[in-house]
Structure 1
């Protein structure tokens, strides 16, 4: 009974039809209608054969559809696998390229860092050696102001003081005061020269004066306030030191150009040689600090090209360039009487 309850309606109808045919065949045989019974049996067998053929046809169709579905699924699976493998391969190639690039970048960075560290160590060693030589040549009467930063480095100071020692200038004009002013004053105290320093910042000028006084160098060096004023050079207006601050100066043997600072404007130091050429001695030395910077390098090039008698003394040492100035005096042609 449980099995009958689980049958579908179609299955129950088929079962009922089979039972009815069985009853009909049995009844016909019992009634003596053998021919009818055989006919019913034949029709039943024919129906069963037809049903079997139909079932086999349906199974064949289902088999074909299933095989087609399997082929389609296999094709989709194979295509998905190919795409997945291609994506994985591309990822691996990209990862490999990225790994190689990162490895090269790291190697380059390590090499650059090592090179930079080596250069820094050499530079620090040079500065320490220069500082030892500076203090070996002088015995300061008070603590020296710090060097470096905006002030001249020890290597540049050492080179500058050697120029003073060997060329023995009587008058040094410094544009921009500070640590270098004290060192220059000590050198000039030995050689018998004099220093005039200009500064556009009253605070810096006062600080330098106090340092010179602390070292007992006020008899050798003087700091003058020179606020920035407009000056016209080559058709351009520049903020530059007040020319009244140098109105009394003549025969400057050594000119140190260490100002105005870069922040005061483009080509801030270009006017120096144009304004001060007439105040230089016939034979003078010009020291141009920060000559490696673009504005200063361009100013240096223009000066050498356009100022007669101004020549560069080789390549710049440290951050400054050294130039020689020889005044060219042209004699007047004699006039016919």
Structure 2
């Protein structure tokens, strides 16, 4: 029995606290409404107690009217809240739809871009595969040409010592240089610039009973070339050191070989101008012809590696058919240069 009463008390306390919390959470308007209802109820009770039925009826009518007004007001507020909630839901739905469309558009764009990139990559790989195959084929052809040129060089020349390694000219270039020397059989050959290619040219000139004079502005390179010539026993080749001096050509100044080192050179049948070994970085042919053009023998040939080669080199020289490798021969139109 005592336990049952205790349970009832606890329930009553919880309900009392719940109602108290609700009352404390009421707004001023709600408190005013509660006060009006309580006042009206109290008035009805007092009027009924003192036998004032008319007053009690009037107060009861006013109380009902107030309650009805409160219900209408509450209904209108609930309606406004409902409408605002529906508007918020519509706005949220619009935002979600717009976001969904943007996401779908972005995904579609990325999908198309990925497809394009995949296609480009596939085409690039296919093109690279074709180019790789073609490049390998071209490389094999080039290597075959170089091997053939090297074999032909050793068929023409029998060296007395090991040929120098690290040649700046490949076998095709050497073949073109040796070919023009064999074909022309020059009595006097002048080469501007020395190096391992001088050995090949020296053997060719020696076999034709000629003389080779080489000028080089690099003293160290000239010394190394002399040592190679001595090793191969090429006594018909002379290497001269010609330091760099300023030369006036066609109204301008260029760095070129010291002309004093070229004294005594006349009736030059073959002039080799190697632009890669010249003191000037460009147009090595113009100063060479300016100094040595008047010393060329009738029917002489000038071999130059410049690109592009001028059609007219001066002194009646005209570009002829290109030689094997990177050389081009300039000669008198009446002179024949076979390639």
Give TM-score, length-normalised by structure 1.
Answer: 0.81
Pair 1:28–1:5, CA change in 2 (3 A): same
Matching residue of 1:335: none
* Number of corresponding residues: 316
1:261 to 1:184, Cα distance in 2 relative to 1, 3 A? closer
**1:131–1:154 CA contact under 8 A, matched in 2:** yes
Comparing 238-247 with 93-102, which one deviates more in the overlay? 93-102
Structure 1, unaligned runs of 5 or more? 329-337
What residue ranges of structure 2 are gaps of 5+ in the alignment? 1-15
What does residue 173 of structure 2 align with? 156
The 8 Å contact of residues 178 and 204 in structure 1, kept in 2 or not, is answered as yes
1:332 matched to which residue of 2?
none
Matched, 1:307 2:315: yes
| Structure 1 outlier segments of 4+, above 6 Å | none
Task: Tell me by how many angstroms 1:139 deviates.
Answer: 2.5
Secondary structure, counterpart of 2:22 in structure 1: coil
Structure-2 change in CA distance of 1:256 and 1:208 (3 Å): same
1:145 to 161, 164, 173: 164
CA apart distance, 1:16: 6.7
CA–CA distance in structure 1, aligned partners of residues 20 and 63 of structure 2: 26
RMSD: 2.9
Aligned match of 1:214: 231
Q: 1:319 aligned to 2:326? A: yes
Q: Work out whether residues 209 and 223 of structure 1, in 8 Å CA contact, stay in contact via their aligned partners in 2.
A: yes
Is 1:238 the counterpart of 2:254? The answer is: yes
Q: Is the 8 A contact 1:282 1:326 kept in 2?
A: no
2:177–2:327 Cα contact (<8 Å) kept: no
- The question of whether the paired residues in 2 share the 8 Å contact of 1:197 and 1:223 is answered with yes
RCO (CA 8 Å, sep 6+): is it higher in 1 or 2? 2
Contact 2:246–2:253 (8 Å) recurs in 1: yes
1:97, distance to aligned residue in structure 2 (A): 4.7
TM-score computed with the length of structure 2 as normaliser: 0.80
Q: 2:62 aligns with which of 43, 48, 58?
A: 43
Per-residue Cα deviation, 1:278-322 (whole angstroms, up to 9, x for no partner): 211101122112x23xxxx25x3451xx432x1222245421111
